[in-house]
Amino acid sequence: MTPLFDALKKYKGVKARFHMPSHGGKSMPDDEGLFASAPFDVTELSFSDNLSCSAGVIKAAEDLAAKAYGADHTLFFADGATSALRTALLCVRGESIAFLGEMHKSFYAAERLFSLSVTDISSPQEIVNGKFRAVCVTSPDYYGRVKDVAAIARKCREAGALLIVDEAHGAHFAYSSLLPESAVKYADLVIHGAHKTLPVFTGGAMLHVKDALYQKAREARREVVGTSPSYLVLASLDYARDLFEREGEAYYAAVKGEVERVKTAHPQVEVLPSDDFSRVVILQKGGGHALSSEMETAGVFVEAADADRVVLIVTPFNYTCLEQAFCVADGFDGKNAEYPDISDIIGKKSKYDVGVYPPGVPLVKAGETISKEQADVLRANLDRLFGTVDGKIIT
């Protein structure tokens, strides 16, 4: 059942459109068929609902997603997990918020935009009764490692704090018993960047919400999202949920089998431990960027690379190509890249949040003094940094 997707299908053959977007539902005459989806690209019409106050087919699709994930309620987003995270944080604006471990740069941006009261804690033991209204964690991280969300949730309940989990890279967890358990079971607000691991158009995201926070979250979403959401993105959320509910177990059984087979066939390729077998991280000390470039030359494009690692997101739609990536890694000569000298930034305060993107976690925060260790990491990833101006780290 795909109510939103079906509604757009019915509109495909309409005779005339006098509304945005102004391509009129006609596929553009491009040779590659890039605009073949134009007939499904619509705006808020009588049949298509309104994301800011979903009550029709979008709401029906959201309710089906909530059921699939075991959530009380689910809200759709067409502009990424950043908007979902901002919506979650608006639900606790004005309260004391703690965060445990690394957070995406959008978290710190929201802290500044919304003037949030945020405290960095190093252990769940610091979640003491009455001290914080909400606790935020990221799980899984960019490399497929998950936190003990169940234990953190118990600590939050004991302390009377809400738990917000940025599970942007774990939208697929709910669809296979072979994958880690989803945070939706334990947390009050869970963010999913669905396009990261599901067959969803870029920007497709969800926020899963406990009943007590639902109306507040709906109101917060109205403050955050744009007024022209992509229905292609929204419909892909609906379609992917239906597909993976039916096929997820079989899909990920096949993925897991191939990942294990390829790793066994290439024992000399070092793969870092991960809680999520579909997140394959190849370790290549000092040669991460070079290995990524060599893979690209062979026609294999990876999710990301840094100085030491290459990250591959393995899905039901690309797992049969994993062998190609490992063959390149197998034959890699181990050459290390040479990096420019940026030692002049050591000991100076950074003007902006700066880090490697992806994953988008600030290594140096605005106003923080840059250490030699931080400078070394930044130096080895100069072509992948955020927070720079014309490629330069501003102090």
Q: Which of 190, 224, 244 is the last residue of a domain?
A: 244
In a domain, 146, yes or no: yes
Rounded CA-CA distance 334/291 in Å is 8
Of residues 38 and 283, the one with the higher pLDDT is: 283
**Confidence (pLDDT) at 23:** 80
**Confidence (pLDDT) at 311:** 97
Q: Cα angle vertex 355, ends 349, 358, to 5°? A: 170
Examine the domain organization and report whether 238 and 369 are in the same domain.
no
| Domain CATH code at residue 114 | 3.40.640.10
Q: Which of 212, 244, 276 is the last residue of a domain?
A: 244
**Are the beta carbons of 282 and 307 closer than 8 angstroms?**
no
Examine the domain organization and report whether 45 and 167 are in the same domain.
yes
In a domain, 313, yes or no: no
In a domain, 23, yes or no: yes
Examine the domain organization and report whether 348 and 238 are in the same domain.
no
Looking only at the bridges linking them, the beta strands covering 96-100 and 117-121 are parallel
In a domain, 379, yes or no: yes
Examine the domain organization and report whether 238 and 347 are in the same domain.
no
In a domain, 271, yes or no: no
**Confidence (pLDDT) at 204:** 97
β-bridge partners, 119: 98
Secondary structure of 177-230 in HEC code, one letter for each residue: CCCCCCHHHCCCEEEECHHHCCCCCCCCEEEEECHHHHHHHHHHHHHHCCCCCC
| Average pLDDT score, the chain | 94
Sheet holding 385-386, edge to edge: 361-364, 354-356, 385-386
In a domain, 269, yes or no: no
**Confidence (pLDDT) at 177:** 98
Per-residue b or e along 186-201, where b marks 16 or more CB atoms closer than 10 Å to that residue's CB? bbbbbbbbbbbbbebb
Classify burial at 311, counting beta carbons within 10 Å of its beta carbon; exposed 0-12, middle 13-18, buried 19 or more: buried
Peptide bond into 362 cis (omega under 30): no
Residue count of the chain, please give it.
Answer: 395
**Are the beta carbons of 342 and 379 closer than 8 angstroms?**
yes
Neighbours of 320 (CB within 10 A): 11
* DSSP string for 4-66: HHHHHHHHTT-S---SSSTTTTPPP--TT-TTTTGGG---S-TTT--GGG--SHHHHHHHHHH
Examine the domain organization and report whether 56 and 181 are in the same domain.
yes
- Does residue 17 surpass a pLDDT of 90? no
- Does residue 14 surpass a pLDDT of 90? no
pLDDT tens-digit series, residues 263-281: 999 999 999 999 999 999 9
Examine the domain organization and report whether 236 and 366 are in the same domain.
no
Rounded CA-CA distance 238/60 in Å is 9
Q: If you average pLDDT over residues 306-314, what whole number do you get?
A: 94
- Does residue 27 surpass a pLDDT of 70? no
* DSSP string for 269-317: S-B---SSTTEEEEE-TTTHHHHHHHHHHTT---SEE-SSEEEEE--TT
Residue 144 domain boundaries: 3-244
Examine the domain organization and report whether 221 and 366 are in the same domain.
no
**Confidence (pLDDT) at 21:** 85
In the chain, the number of structural domains is 2
Examine the domain organization and report whether 237 and 348 are in the same domain.
no
pLDDT tens-digit series, residues 316-332: 999 999 999 999 999 99
**Are the beta carbons of 395 and 351 closer than 8 angstroms?**
yes
**Confidence (pLDDT) at 349:** 95
Percentage of the chain modeled with pLDDT above 90: 84
Looking only at the bridges linking them, the beta strands covering 189-192 and 162-166 are parallel
In a domain, 277, yes or no: no
**Confidence (pLDDT) at 348:** 95
In a domain, 287, yes or no: no
| Residue for token pair 């991460």 | 288
Q: Which of 200, 226, 244 is the last residue of a domain?
A: 244
- Does residue 300 surpass a pLDDT of 80? yes
Of residues 197 and 338, the one with the higher pLDDT is: 197
pLDDT tens-digit series, residues 144-184: 999 999 999 999 999 999 999 999 999 999 999 999 999 99
Examine the domain organization and report whether 221 and 351 are in the same domain.
no
Q: Cα angle vertex 251, ends 248, 253, to 5°? A: 105
Q: DSSP class of residue 241?
A: H
Examine the domain organization and report whether 356 and 212 are in the same domain.
no
Of residues 168 and 391, the one with the higher pLDDT is: 168
- Does residue 337 surpass a pLDDT of 90? no
| Domain CATH code at residue 359 | 3.90.105.10
Examine the domain organization and report whether 224 and 357 are in the same domain.
no
Examine the domain organization and report whether 219 and 362 are in the same domain.
no
**Confidence (pLDDT) at 24:** 80
**Confidence (pLDDT) at 31:** 66
